[in-house]
Amino acid sequence: MAKRVLVTGADGFIGSHLTERLVREGNDVRAFVAYNSIGSWGWLDHCEREVKGKFEVFAGDIRDPHGVKQAMLGCDAVMHLAALIAIPYSYNSPDTYVDTNIKGTLNVLQAARAIGCQVIHTSTSEVYGSAQFVPITESHPQCGQSPYSATKIAADQLAHSFYASFATPVTIVRPFNTYGPRQSARAVIPTVITQLASGKRQIKLGAIATTRDFNYVSDTVAGFLAAMQSGNSVGSVFNIGSNFEITIDDMVRLVGRIMGIDVDILSDDARLRPKNSEVERLWADNTRAKQVLGWAPEYSGIEGLERGLRRTIQWFEDPMNLQMYRPDNYNL
């Protein structure tokens, strides 16, 4: 059933893909993008041709409660993705993460409570910290090992509190490491691909023995849609992950093999997290999402990861896309 949906963070990586998918499925979509003086809609400026002109844009600031409520008026559901997400930058500027990730989420929840709007709130696997057991279920203890993850834990708890206190229809979606076209080079997979695609053979990385559960962006988007459409998701948390872990080192070697490059990895101290902040292991248990939402990843296991990486590499190797990145710079 089609809905009137607000997507916050619609100008970002996952948000732009989600906006496109919602439009394609016949929903009436309002895209909340960060106001700026040049009128940029972020990645929505580059959206698929068949989607252009078929969604409404609201430029605002997630930290402004009045604007958030105005954007949400008339909506049945809000997909709340707007957040500051770069972990290294959160070491430098934690106050901005509190304002954006916690206060911004509060603004969404307050408006949703007043309007009677369904909320799909975006969490992150970083809230778990280094895995204490694997695969990680939704009941795994939470541990804020960075200012970023701490603010996301707080935002998750606020979201749950509005469900518990006011019966606001809130669902928490917890994606593991999403990758794909349009992702920022602040993430490891674009960092690797853009360095190799620009002609480098020796690439700079931080920790490479850590493991991650990588998820192609279309699977993450499908998880959001399943959460919105399910009649049984309210009040619950759902891991959106592939149930497959791989070390960063092995992932880099796989990217190199796909691109036909023998990769030489150079450890860069500037890219290392503080020792006690590094999340050593992430591996999702996605059983609840499968059983309750009817969702399952299409890109799973090593075969699925390779398919997703091939699609991602193809996008980044396009000169029109690659020129938007700066592979010589380390992006906080």
Q: Order of strands across the sheet with 77-80? A: 56-60, 28-34, 4-8, 77-80, 118-122, 170-175, 237-240
C-alpha pair distances (Å), 311 with each of 24, 160, 170, 182, 255: 20, 36, 33, 12, 11
- Annotate 29-84 with three-state secondary structure: EEEEEECCCCCCCHHHHHCCCCCCCCCEEEEECCCCHHHHHHHHCCCCEEEECCCC
Whether cis (ω within 30° of 0) applies to the bond prior to 135 is yes
In the chain, which residues fall in CATH 3.90.25.10? 188-210+245-281+300-322
Per CATH, the architecture of 188-210+245-281+300-322 is what? Alpha-Beta Complex (3.90)
Where exactly does CATH 3.40.50.720 map onto the chain? 4-179+216-240
- Per-residue pLDDT, 81: 99
Q: Are 135 and 285 in contact (CB under 8 A)?
A: yes
What is the model's pTM? 0.97
Helices 301-317 and 248-259: angle between axes, nearest 10 degrees: 60
Residue 33 confidence class, pLDDT cut points 50, 70, 90: very high
Q: Taking the CA of residue 262 as centre, how many other CA atoms within 13 Å lie in the half-sphere pointing to its CB?
A: 0
CA distance 157 to 178: 22
Whether 179 sits among the annotated catalytic residues: the reply is no
Whether 272 has a pLDDT exceeding 90, the answer reads no
Parallel, antiparallel or unpaired: strands 4-8 and 77-80: parallel
> What would the mean pLDDT of 288-310 be, rounded to a whole number?
98
3-state secondary structure of 123: coil
pLDDT tens readout for residues 80-119: 999 999 999 999 999 999 999 999 999 999 999 999 999 9
The pLDDT value recorded for residue 279 is 96
**Each residue of 184-214: pLDDT tens digit?**
998 999 999 999 999 998 988 988 899 999 9
Cβ atoms of residues 190 and 41 within 8 Å:
no
Residue 142 has a pLDDT of 98
State what percent of residues in the chain have pLDDT above 70: 100
DSSP state of 284: B
| Contact between residue 250 and residue 188 where contact means Cβ atoms under 8 Å apart | no
Q: Are 277 and 92 in contact (CB under 8 A)?
A: no
Q: Is the pLDDT of residue 330 over 80?
A: no
Q: What is the mean pLDDT of residues 143-157?
A: 98
Catalytic annotation, pick one of 148, 163, 299, 325: 148
How does pLDDT run across 226-256, given as a tens digit for each residue? 999 999 999 999 999 999 999 999 999 999 9
C-beta atoms surrounding 165 within 10 Å: 9
Q: Supply the pLDDT for residue 204.
A: 85
The CATH fold of domain 4-179+216-240 = Rossmann fold (3.40.50)
